[in-house]
Chains A and B, each alone.
Chain A
């Protein structure tokens, strides 16, 4: 094979629709347009099966398959020789293609028509470049190897989970030139993802939630596979429509809906990348852009490699905070507080916490805050440890696998955003301190 498929993947995006040729038993050819070609590896591709048409009949009857693909960047054309292997009707590949097709269908005004029935997997036997005039490829917007090298270098220099997450999002902007990013953490016990950091939105959305399985981010989490969509589609929206469906399911109460999700109202391009470590899903990186077809296979590869580094680093920091514990500093006596008291109200039913009647947070992070503030008011306690929280019966953490450090980062961020006069600060590995600016009045309901 003279051409490697991974070097011509722009041809698979369908900017210039590809052709598929097959033949029947009598040797009568059939020619049709392709909705999408999915790169699996250099020896395998998948084609979308939407209709039981002549192409499909010929393929199932054993016809050799030829594709004609064209680069929208250079005008180069390639003929690919394929052999049909199998059809997948569920699972990661199917979900990747289904999401991509939803975008294509919406773009083509075919949302009611295009429905993925299966992902037909083919072995790639040969690629032949069609002779003819081609243009020089334009320089890429980003050198991904340089971006990856610099970004992963910056991750290794981070000393805490909070610093790591900030650096990761900064890198996506400065090294990868991605302007709209969200990082969501996986709440394994509740089947949710919660936003821990974002860039490029008027509101950070920290604390907002998405159920696993809902929208592009939720499907990425469920299947643990990158999902990339090149055109705007309501089918994979992750905003209000998701909440409506969850509320209809009767789960609305447990989903964080008071904090709005960030997001572009009309994203042309969306990509969600799972962050995993040692077979566990830690979270999802989500990026978007107003332009159509903004993210390609190279962007996807670069972010998958970046997310792999990020996942290992996140795992490391979580372990460090749980296992190690720096010697506590001498607990400084809290200065006497003056001014009007801050009213802190706690509802035990869902652990929601309100500050002066304004909603702050609920769930595990709400339980943590209530515990810290209760200890502060009762005993003037300001120094805490991750280990202590882990075993505290008042908090009821979902399990050892839960990323407690991430929940502390979430709580810290929400408090900072609200400028409520309650501060959490790390004081060492596995330790943090609480500081309050005003007297507190706690009310439990």
Chain B
């Protein structure tokens, strides 16, 4: 090089001494040459660089002494090319746009275009070339592009490989392929692609080859085996190309989609799971025995499960717009408050409310609203509504029956019991209730009413007559009135009527409840009836007890008076018998006799009263009434000498059929009765008249007579007329004895007011026809 460099210097010097016409022109040309923006240099015939301007030095990157004097071939990548250009120039050619490749100082190769011509002397000797070098811009750009592409090809993560269709031998293997498969290019190139990568085609190798040859392209997924033995899924793109030599090559680009596939599989799986999960929850929501709905955070329903729709008989849209219509008016507020509380607290809340079913029935439901929180805020509300009507009904009925039981147990008599029943069922069961009872005479009395006014118009007569409940159910099985009979020991004794007001309607279940109320009330009413009877019995017993006390007093009085007379007279006769005059002594003795007789009659009456009851019969015999009556009046007159008795027996009265002793007793008692209850001055009439097959015997007085209300009790034992009981002696058994005796003989006795004042007591005896 040192030698070349010295030679070049020599050439430059030589030029300066020989080729300058004048100084100015020379300076101008030199300056132009040096500063021209075109690379220019002069080459000697041996290829030595003689001159070079600044532009060419800058192009190559050398200093002047590193370039000038050196052989041009040193700076060209293709020696043949530059020697060829030089030989052509030497032979006299001019070179234009001759491509060549130069090597710059940094080692890079640049495509250039060369224009050159030769300067010869007058003899035609080759002095030097005048050479312009300019970059081959198109080529450079193309190379740059290619380099970029190649770089891209190397930079890409995709594997790019080229292999022969027939041989499968790999001819190109980029960095992406190295990275993807783990084989360096040196190892891969030359190997059969299918063997190296253990390619598995989805449809088999033959089909793949056929498709590729037929279509020229093939796209699809394959699996390849990497150097480490792992298998990857690739998205592969094959293009069949033919090179300049006519060989068929396959350009294959592959992209590892294993992760994507895995992600896709995972995604598919997740999607499936989500779908499945949603499906599951929807199925759950649809199959639960609960009505489920979802609401947006602002409370608008966006889903109702089928059960909800079926229950209400409304569409989802209808429910969204008009859900309030399905809630019982009384429960709207509670429901609204529940939702409000839930929204305020962002927590689950629940309440109970009545929801209208498609058939119009309001049924109790438990409502639970639950927020689904996202980031602490409700993203969704899940409403569940469970039909708790049965439970609620059972609870309500249990409470009702407890209340009824308490009411029944606290009431004693029938009236209080009826009121208790009516009060116990209103308003929890019915809006109105009435209790009607059947009295002993068959009439119906409304004992108690509670609640609604409409009930007054409805009578239970039908229920009481037919013994079957009445329920005015409409087509949907609902009604506003139930009436049920109450039976005690198989006998209908009362009826309960229940009414429903407003929106409230009864259903079949309520009819059952009504029956149960009736059944339980029956016990209560039966007990109350027993209580009333007991009360009546107690009162009766108290009266009877008082009557017995009075009777004992009367008996003692009735017995003591004659005993006093008898005993007193006995003492008087014993103590002063001699001192008494005849009349006094006779009277005393007569009094003893009469009072003894009186005692005997009293005892006889008492015995008869105790012995006879209404079913007893007495043997009768023919008795001459006229004779018997005279006897009785004579006996009476002995005791009551100042009392006038008029005996009046019709001629056609003969024998009657009677027990003679009892006939005397009856007549005697009736006379005593008349004597007791009429003024002493008025006569007593004893009359007998024939009336068909009977003889009517009457005892008539002029006393105070008989009040109409006394008639019933007149013949009861121990009855004594109120007006006279203070002063009339006697026990009140005389008339009762008469009645018992006569009824035992199949005869009747009566009492009535006597025309013109006083009383008439009469009895009828059958005529005893004399035997022919």
Same complex for A and B? Answer no
